[in-house]
Amino acid sequence: MYEMLIYGVSFDLVGKQPIVLLKTADGNKFLPIWIGHPEAAAILMKLQSQAPPRPMTHDLLSDMLEQLGAQVVRITVTELRENTFYAQITVAQNGNEIEVDSRPSDAIALAIRAEAPIFAADRVIEESAIEFEGDEVTEEQLEEEVAKFKHFLEDVTPDQFAVEDGDEEIEEDGEDEEEEEED
């Protein structure tokens, strides 16, 4: 498992969808997760130390857990399935830990409030993270890579990953093996 830090919240330049960007704590791998506008607002408000006049949903949940004597131990981005990330919130109460299924955006918003560490499963990082060479990454480089990744996700098909043994490729000029045998 990789410990993750919140690198920031940004907006996809094409679809104007919010993205929370997690960075490995001891590396240069970034995990972009597209989230909803309310969750982006909840994350940003806490990151910017702003307090709403009344508790938001994540504040309410955090307060309830505290009142019940429970604490968020960690949150983990567990998998990416069909272009959707999944997460778990680990809560401890009276010496017992329970795992609660969650959307990553809600789990991250809760983790910030509970000051709980954020993790990502090895497989999630191996399959979905973007790695940058060098020490520092500019915002421009980051946005460019995130845009490339989103474009890839929009256009990729399962057929692009499947190559069956023995399949012959057709030449660009349209000739295939049968036509060559006739000559």
26-70 pLDDT, tens digit each: 888 999 999 999 999 899 888 888 888 888 899 899 999 999 999
Query: Is pLDDT above 90 for 12?
Result: no
Residue 157 lies inside a defined structural domain of this protein? no
Residue 155 covered by a domain: no
169 in a structural domain: no
Share of the chain above pLDDT 90, in %: 47
Report pTM.
0.71
Domain-embedded: residue 150 = no
C-beta separation of 124 from 31 below 8 A: yes
CATH of the domain at 114: 3.10.690.10
Other C-beta atoms closer than 10 Å to the C-beta of 7 total 16
Give strand ranges (E) for 122-162. 130-131
When pLDDT is averaged across residues 157-182 and rounded to a whole number, the result is 43
Between CA 33 and CA 114 the distance in angstroms is 20
Residue 54 domain-assigned (yes or no): yes
What is the pLDDT averaged over residues 76-104? Answer: 95
Helix axes of 104-114 and 57-67: crossing angle, nearest 10 degrees: 60
Is residue 126 included in any domain, yes or no? Answer: yes
Strand partners for 32: 21
Residue 37 lies in a domain: yes
Which domain covers residue 22, as residue numbers? Answer: 2-134
Contacts by 82-87, CB closer than 8 A, 24 or more apart? 83/153, 85/33, 85/124, 85/128
Domain total in the chain: 1
148 within a domain of the structure (yes/no): no
Considering Cα of 58, then 60, then 65, then 66, what sign does the dihedral take? positive
Q: What is the mean pLDDT of the chain?
A: 81
- Distance of alpha carbon 144 from alpha carbon 139, whole angstroms: 9
Amino acid sitting at position 6:
I
87: left (phi over 0), alpha (psi -120 to 50) or beta: beta
